[in-house]
Amino acid sequence: MAQLIAALDYTNAADALATANALRGCPIWMKVGLELFTHEGPSVAARLKEMGFKVMLDLKMFDIPNTVKGGVRSACLMGVDLITVHALGGERMIRAAREAIEESAASGGARPLLFAVTVLTSMAPGELPGYGEDLPGLAADLAAGGQAWGLDGVVCSGHEVETIKRRCPSLLCLTPGIRPASGSTDDQRRVMTPAQAVRAGSDFLVVGRPITKAPVPADAARAILDEMEKA
């Protein structure tokens, strides 16, 4: 069964925790990303863990191997459940991230799932110089490399899940760019509805604005959970 992750893309902890609090007890993960983490630091993730949620720390690390290893080591100290790096960081960077996780686990610390972003779901074919129209092909190539380098999963669009799972059966797929059938796609380009993403075989659906900008965020999240269950 696919899991829903609510992207708490708020500036302030109070707003993020209010949405999370209203969803206590629901089968849902919380995502702390750049906006919230940069403003509030690690304490929000700690609070979400205390509330009983699994937490995705989405900092999409992309740097030299030594720096990413240090970043992942710090993320492990936060006790989060899933962290993200960029697949374009390549083999040595991803192996360094994996090493930091294994070192944390070996010393009794956290062992978060390691996911790598393939091609951002906000990217449309033709937007990435040198890669023409074949973004799904690029996403699948990056996933295939990452599978050998120690990833647990990849971040991709729902449109790429089937191909990636065929080439890399051991990888989990996490899909942002999820939009209800009616409503704006915002800056996302390679989108799917929650039901389509579940049927495509996605393991995690990440949803931000359709929840955070809804009049009652918790109701919007519950409607998506309902759609996923019925898919």
Point out the annotated binding site.
Answer: 9, 31, 58-67, 121, 179, 188, 208-209
182: helix, strand or coil? coil
Pick the closer one to ligand C5P by CB: 34 or 105.
34
The pairs formed by 126-129 with CB atoms below 8 angstroms and a separation of 24 or more are 127/189
Contacts for 162 with CB less than 8 Å, ≥ 6 apart: 200, 201
Name the catalytic one among 15, 49, 54, 63.
63
191: helix, strand or coil? coil
Least Cβ distance, residue 33 to ligand C5P (angstroms): 4
Residue nearest to ligand C5P (CB): 208
Q: Is 81 a catalytic residue?
A: no
Binding site for ligand C5P (CB under 6 A): 7, 9, 33, 58, 117, 120-121, 155, 176, 186, 188, 206-209
Least Cβ distance, residue 111 to ligand C5P (angstroms): 22
Name the catalytic one among 15, 49, 54, 58.
58
**C-alpha 15 chain-centroid distance:** 20
Buried/exposed 167-194: b ≥16 CB within 10 Å, e otherwise: ebeebbbbbbbbbbeeeeeeebbbbbbb
Least Cβ distance, residue 17 to ligand C5P (angstroms): 17
Q: Is 219 a catalytic residue?
A: no
Name the catalytic one among 15, 49, 60, 186.
60
Q: Is 69 a catalytic residue?
A: no
Active site residues: 58, 60, 63
